[in-house]
Structure 1
């Protein structure tokens, strides 16, 4: 290992040293595999096999086939498997499992299935570990019929599915929305005395949430609490999204408080959800208290935090509070995005138009020549929807990605938006109302 760390060529090391232990050979092979130097790893393994009077046991071939499986090289694994047989080594469950894993990881499922048939023909006794990689491949690729057939065959062949088998099948059924099948397997696991782990529970909750089955989602969440498992961020987001879609913002607040705001592994997600639950109901005092609470515990605010406040204040036409949020963003060094820009435009331009104040606020954002970006959490749009300026801008950018051969900027989007508003107003009122069209002409360079 010291020679490897000194930068010596692994193949030169093999030539220099006459005798190496098995552990030293594996150190060199695993080093080369980790560096994705599979060709040299093969040469090292061949060097080892060609040593005088040395015949590697089957377990070494199986181990190297697993290395090739991680590198997605089933073709070389098959050659090694054939070479092992030519050396007089009879393949057992160990090497068959390694080769099946290799084909399954590479997505060559037909070859893996052929090996399973060959194992049955050779009367090799299966175990669940030999088929779990194939089951996992079916699960990832959504081949539910193949997976279901293999699961039932395992029982017929006297090869009882183990915990990992149940995990992959339940996760696949959950992702596909096959709740009846999933619940039957869940019940079967309970009968075996097995508890669901965080991977299975998370998949189940996320699937219920995506399909709007809020009660089932909540019941599954209670099972997580019963098992004392930690809820991960994707699951939290899925649950919050399900509640937001049916406007149950109080449930979002209860969820956040139940999960503990002081968790360090979720960043600002829980605080932002609490803030969003208040802001979506325009509970301004609670929004302000939540912001103060974040400052009190030292929780850093991000772009989403400020945009939640900005959207709340903009919808309520609270001009001073919106201005204060923009000032705090600048002091925190956070760059506004299209959502922030749109909140300012929608706030000042709707109803009684205040163009001078609007342009002053927009100038202070310093985004005139910047390319539009959206960095706000999509959950915010589920609660608030998208403002008129943001919707119009995204439609425009999608329809014409490069206007006049140029890139879009915030200033250009605003110019188009104001012209559109002027045209709309004049089409509704032909009495010579200049309105936004006049203002757009004045500020086209913006």
Structure 2
């Protein structure tokens, strides 16, 4: 979309207000000093030529004000807004929204509150996207009173978006660890007759997992279950991380069974976490038994499934099981990642079997580019192997080189051999 003034302004003015698409303008492409100079010119041009006549011109003015706000020049945006008001034109909703968001993101809360009240008095209905961004900005600096005030104002006007605003406020309080405010908002939401949806219920479980105790987290989960709502992926991962952090692997297994291992909509997540609960305690027979149950239940093992088993086999130096696992991966076309290679390398070198390392590696593709595709929850429970940590350091600080598994293993083997040598000083 291109917007031009009906009058014929000078070139800098056209450069400022010609918009190439819906969300970008030439103004946004200028650097800070150029923007300031051009913005001063547009203010002078608009005052001189009286360019505030016509609806299209007012729309262009609003767009420039938004661009100035994005360029962190609110004083120029305010000056333009003042000129609009002087000419008798009221600012539109998008202009006020852009200014309010800028104030909120820069902790200018009184100004943001004033714009908010001006929007309501002008009968502008704030969009749910704007409210979400405002809540995020307030939450980042811990201004939860501001979130409460906005929620009360929306509540007093009985907007149609009120249920969504309640959900946004609950998420905002949860992200900030304000569990009591989260509970109070939920009670207020229910008292207004609004039902709790799946996203809100899962948010409770997630934030109690992060900021509450295990007992509080479990109470939130059972409350969700009594509401006949299913816990989703984010909630499952948050609860599992809480159990792993406290090393409560038995309780993790129990809650996973309660969630239901047969759920297909979360993929292999539940089964992988169950296998992880056994691998973390090196209960190898239970690990193998549950793996067979997983396959019999119709689930196809993925890379994370194989690496959970490979890490346990590697730590227990079960070489035959490692080889069988690699053959199984090859058979079902699951490509190994850095973690898989690390399991093989660490097991052989820890047992001083470096000469036999090629026996396992010759069956693997060594010229691929290294990458880690394993679920991070695995590392939270089992940690990272020595080869994995060493390789990450190489990949991070020597990114200009084209690394392959072959090169990484070669460097690591040399490093390991040097570390085993003893030098005597005479």
After TM superposition, the score normalised by the length of structure 1 is 0.68
After the TM superposition, which residues 22-421 of structure 1 pair with which residues of structure 2 at under 5 Å, given as runs? 117=114, 124=121, 130=126, 133-141=129-137, 142-143=139-140, 148-149=145-146, 151-152=148-149, 155=152, 159=156, 162-211=162-211, 213-351=213-351, 353-367=352-366, 369-402=367-400, 406-421=401-416
CA RMSD of aligned residues (A): 4.4
Where structure 2 has 5 or more consecutive residues not aligned to the other structure, the ranges are: 1-20, 26-54, 70-80
Q: 1:241–1:379: 8 Å Cα contact kept in structure 2?
A: yes
Q: What are the superposed Cα offsets for residues 328-351 of structure 1, whole Å, 9 maximum, x if unpaired?
A: 011111111111111011111213
- The separation in 2 between residues aligned to 1:271 and 1:314, in whole angstroms, is 20
- The separation in 2 between residues aligned to 1:215 and 1:244, in whole angstroms, is 15
CA positional deviation for 1:187: 3.3
- The separation in 1 between residues aligned to 2:315 and 2:112, in whole angstroms, is 63
Where structure 1 has 5 or more consecutive residues not aligned to the other structure, the ranges are: 1-34, 40-57, 59-63, 76-80, 432-446
CA positional deviation for 1:74: 11
Q: 1:138–1:146: 8 Å Cα contact kept in structure 2?
A: no
Q: 2:119–2:126: 8 Å Cα contact kept in structure 1?
A: no
Q: 2:101–2:134: 8 Å Cα contact kept in structure 1?
A: no
Q: 1:345 to 1:185 in 2, by over 3 A?
A: same
SS of 2:121's equivalent in the other structure is coil
- Equivalent pairs counted in the alignment come to 367
CA positional deviation for 1:212: 5.9
Q: 1:255 to 1:100 in 2, by over 3 A?
A: farther
Q: 1:96–1:115: 8 Å Cα contact kept in structure 2?
A: no
CA positional deviation for 1:193: 4.3
- The separation in 2 between residues aligned to 1:169 and 1:253, in whole angstroms, is 33
SS of 1:159's equivalent in the other structure is helix
Q: 1:412 to 1:134 in 2, by over 3 A?
A: closer
- The separation in 1 between residues aligned to 2:103 and 2:265, in whole angstroms, is 34
Q: 1:248 to 1:366 in 2, by over 3 A?
A: same
